[in-house]
Structures are given as structure tokens and as C-alpha cells.
Amino acid sequence: MTATSHDPRCYVALELSQAKWLVGALLPGRAKIILHTVRGGDAAGLVEVLDRVSARASNEVGTQVPLSVCYEIGYDGFWLARYLIDRGIDMHVLDSSSFRVSRRGRRAKTDRIDVEAMAVTLRAFMAGDIWRPAPGQPSPRSAGRPRSAAPARAPGPQRPRKPGRRIWADAPPAP
């Protein structure tokens, strides 16, 4: 993960659970994420932490630094996004299927790792490094391939075999 010094934005990712909310901030010019914890459901406490993160980033850069905040949709739904948008915070709600994950085996799954992945994904998205299709546009993986018909079903009985019943019309009757 490399930080760019010309990017004046602070990327914040939230990992939400019922008990606690983990706040991870990727400040401009830094590669390491700063972590804060807020009691679960405490939206006012979250706004205070975001204000402290914004002030810290602004002090380090010397100018006002805008925040971009994201979290993965889940238990808390969209109420938190609406709450933060009403307070003038740039908000993005992510779908869990939008993260690149290695499927070659088990991986560690901790809130800290998830926060780091979300912050890096948000930074890449805001920089334009993530492709997003327009409505009705095919994905690049299927753009060059012709669509084929659905594969034919393998021949075989459509229901479990019962003694004394015919499966096929041309089969001889059972003895």
C-alpha cells in the first residue's frame, strides 16, 4: 500500500458491529491506517471521532482536508449513511461482494484487516482505479465472448425411480 502526497483527501472506513464501531483513517501522505473505536450505535461519538481525524489531517497537511467515509452494508443499513450525509460528510456504502479476496484458502478475518481493505478500496475508487459499468453495459470479461444457449440437461430420470413404474415411454413394463 503506497500513499500519494498529491491526494489531499482523508479516507475513512468503518467496521460496524452491535458492540463497537472500528474507525480506520488513511491520512494524506501516509501508508498506515490510524484506528479509533466508538461504542456501537453512538452516531454522535462517531461524528466527534471524524472531526478529530479531520483536524489531525488538516494540521499535518496545512489546509482543510475533506473526508470520504465508507462502510460495508450490514446490520446498520442506511440510517448511518443518511445521518452522516446530513452532516455534510462524503459517504459511500459498499457491498461486500465488491472487495477483492483471494479464494486460494482460508484468510484471516478481523475488523482491522477489513477496515484497511475498505479504506484502500475507497481510495482506489475515488482515484478512478476501479472500473464501474454503466447501466446496461456488459462486464469486460464477457464483452468479447458470444453468448451461447444454456447447456443441455444430461439425460436421466426426472424423479426418483420407484419399483414397478416406467421411467421412459419406450421402456418395457417392470415384471
Q: Name which of 24-33, 49-58, 80-89, 127-136 the model is least confident about.
A: 127-136
Is pLDDT at 162 greater than 70 in this prediction?
Answer: no
CA 71 to CA 153: how far, in whole Å? 42
pLDDT in tens, 92-104: 888 776 666 666 6
Residue 3 has a pLDDT of: 44
Q: Between 36 and 168, where is the model more confident? A: 36
**Helices 79-86, 43-61: crossing angle, 10 deg rounding:** 50
121 backbone dihedrals φ, ψ, rounded to 5°:
-65, -40
Residue 41 has a pLDDT of: 87
Residue 143 has a pLDDT of: 56
Q: All domains of the chain, ordered by start, with CATH? A: 10-127 (3.30.420)
Q: How confident is the prediction for the chain on average, in pLDDT?
A: 76
CA 23 to CA 17: how far, in whole Å? 11
What is the band of 12 on the pLDDT scale with cuts at 50, 70, 90?
Answer: very high
* pTM, entire model: 0.65
Residue 17 has a pLDDT of: 86
Assess contact for 114 and 72: CB atoms under 8 A: yes
